[in-house]
């Protein structure tokens, strides 16, 4: 589906000339606090991508299936990746995008309407806030951020600058999942007492240890680290396995967990923090693997009359109902089991009929299409709002924090932004490495 840009109107009410530059900017930043460019004639929406591997590239590829979208700029710290992606766009679309290793130079361009953020999790917050401040709409990969406080900063930035934003939790746009929610809302499953979520993946614990080395030519490692603490270079962390180290990611629960916990929260119609969280786990299956995050983990979120549970077993790929990842809803009349391939209902006796629904179509493409429609109409109710993405990420972070402090039961007050256990509060907000500054 192509997006007609005749009604694509940039809202700049929150970006008037008299607005002061906020404290969110790095002192190195030259990003201006003005709105993005005036709408030119025609139906073209211009995008820029920050982080050109894996999901960032996949997201951009879905954007470029729309004839009225063009990519003007790419940014990445790996010059080889950057050059190769630019060449590929040139071959496929007839125009080579400009390339940058510093994302702030991309954001300074007034001709870019949408920024896609596909960088490691520890970079999401600063790049998102800076993009909003520069007058860009934003598609950011999940999890929204690498900490609870960063989630809050991103929600505030999107609101302050009146930007249209969404997170790459594409199941929110999947027909399969909407049909599952419709079934749950019908009440046929009866009273639901539990939603159980699991993700068992080998990649999260099977990486061999690699020695630190000198930074390879063509890698801007200082920019890759950004606000994270100073650390020697290790090739095992650079592409992909950074997710398994606390300074950059949060393991399976923040990678796959936010997708699946999102479906559990949606299914149970939860929009707030749990009453209590109890988490336990450790590096038990592969204690010598190249990971800091937990290969074995169980988290229980307590509500008034039901539970939501998360379980992961990294390094293995088997799970309940023959699915190595997925979720189930346990009701008095039966159990609904789902993953991205299908959902099906297992009746309790003969109380209801069995059901099986299989996936049809691309959730990723549908998600991007819905986002573009929201950008065109200035509709802030995007397929996965920044508020919803923040909620899911916070659930994941609370689980990790519970295990990191030794398994204490936690209560998180989302208004006061504090835990009831003092030790847990030290994990709410990261300390940014100078000269980067945390968005206040």
pLDDT band (50, 70, 90) for residue 43:
confident
- Contacting residues for 71 by C-beta, under 8 A, at least 6 apart: 46, 47, 48, 49, 60, 63, 64, 89, 93, 97
Distance CA 156, CA 390 (A): 11
pLDDT band (50, 70, 90) for residue 36:
low
> Nearest 5°: CA angle at 314, between 395 and 393?
15
Rounded to two decimals, the pTM is 0.92
> Nearest 5°: CA angle at 250, between 392 and 173?
35
User: How confident is the model at residue 38, as a pLDDT?
Assistant: 43
User: How confident is the model at residue 239, as a pLDDT?
Assistant: 84
Reference 119, options 108, 103, 134, 104; nearest CA is 103
pLDDT, tens only, 86-145 = 999 999 999 999 999 999 999 999 999 999 999 999 999 999 999 999 999 999 999 999
Task: Tell me if 251 sits within 8 A of 244, measured CB to CB.
Answer: yes
Residue 380 burial (10 A CB sphere; 0-12, 13-18, 19+): middle
pLDDT band (50, 70, 90) for residue 296:
very high
> Where is average pLDDT lowest: 17-26, 277-286, 399-408?
17-26
pLDDT, tens only, 243-290 = 999 999 999 999 999 999 999 999 999 999 999 999 999 999 999 888
Phi-psi domain of 6 (left: phi exceeds 0; alpha: psi -120 through 50; beta: other): alpha
What value does the mean pLDDT of the chain take?
91
pLDDT, tens only, 98-114 = 999 999 999 999 999 99
Residue pointed to by tokens 């199941």: 171
**Does residue 15 surpass a pLDDT of 80?**
no
pLDDT band (50, 70, 90) for residue 23:
very low
Please give the helix or strand (H or E) that residue 265 lies within, else none.
helix 252-267
Q: 13 — phi, psi (to 5°)? A: -60, -35
Distance CA 230, CA 82 (A): 24
The percentage of the chain sitting over the pLDDT mark of 90, rounded to a whole number, equals 87
Measured N-to-C along each axis, helices 121-133 and 148-160 cross at an angle, to the nearest 10 degrees, of 20
């Amino acid at each position: 589906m192509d997006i007609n840009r005749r009604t694509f109107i940039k809202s700049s009410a929150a970006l008037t000339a008299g607005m002061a530059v906020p404290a969110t900017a790095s002192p190195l930043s030259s990003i201006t606090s003005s709105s993005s460019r005036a709408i030119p004639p025609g139906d073209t929406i211009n995008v820029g991508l920050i982080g050109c591997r894996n999901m960032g590239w996949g997201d951009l590829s879905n954007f470029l299936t729309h004839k009225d979208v063009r990519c003007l700029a790419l940014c990445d710290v790996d010059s080889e990746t950057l050059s190769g992606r630019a060449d590929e766009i040139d071959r496929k679309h007839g125009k080579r995008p400009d390339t940058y290793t510093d994302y702030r130079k991309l954001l300074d361009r007034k001709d870019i309407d949408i920024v896609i953020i596909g960088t490691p999790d520890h970079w999401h917050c600063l790049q998102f806030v800076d993009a909003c401040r520069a007058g860009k709409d934003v598609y950011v990969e999940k999890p929204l951020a690498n900490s609870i406080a960063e989630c809050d900063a991103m929600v505030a930035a999107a609101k302050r600058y009146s930007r249209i934003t969404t997170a790459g939790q594409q199941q929110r746009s999947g027909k399969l999942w909407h049909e599952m929610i419709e079934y749950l809302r019908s009440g046929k499953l009866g009273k639901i007492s539990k939603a159980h979520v699991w993700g068992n993946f080998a990649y999260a614990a099977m990486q061999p240890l690699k020695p630190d080395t000198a930074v390879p030519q063509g890698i801007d490692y200082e920019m890759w680290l950004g606000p994270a603490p100073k650390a020697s270079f290790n090739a095992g962390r650079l592409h992909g396995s950074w997710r398994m180290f606390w300074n950059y990611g949060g393991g399976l629960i923040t990678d796959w967990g936010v997708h699946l916990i999102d479906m559990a929260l949606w299914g149970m119609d939860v929009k707030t923090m749990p009453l209590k969280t109890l988490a336990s786990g450790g590096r038990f299956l592969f204690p010598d693997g190249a990971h800091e995050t937990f290969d074995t983990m169980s988290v229980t979120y307590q509500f008034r009359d039901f539970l939501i549970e998360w379980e992961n077993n990294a390094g293995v790929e088997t799970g309940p109902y023959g699915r190595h990842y997925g979720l189930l809803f346990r009701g008095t009349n039966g159990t609904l089991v789902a993953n991205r391939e299908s959902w099906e209902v297992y009746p309790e006796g003969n109380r209801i009929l069995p059901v099986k629904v299989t996936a049809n179509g691309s959730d990723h493409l549908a998600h991007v299409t819905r986002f573009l429609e929201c950008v065109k109409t200035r509709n802030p109710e995007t397929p996965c709002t920044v508020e919803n993405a923040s909620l899911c990420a916070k659930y994941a972070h609370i689980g990790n924090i519970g295990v990191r402090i030794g398994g204490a039961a936690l209560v998180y007050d989302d208004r006061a932004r504090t835990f009831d256990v003092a030790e847990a509060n030290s994990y709410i907000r990261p300390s940014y490495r100078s000269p980067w500054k945390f968005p206040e």
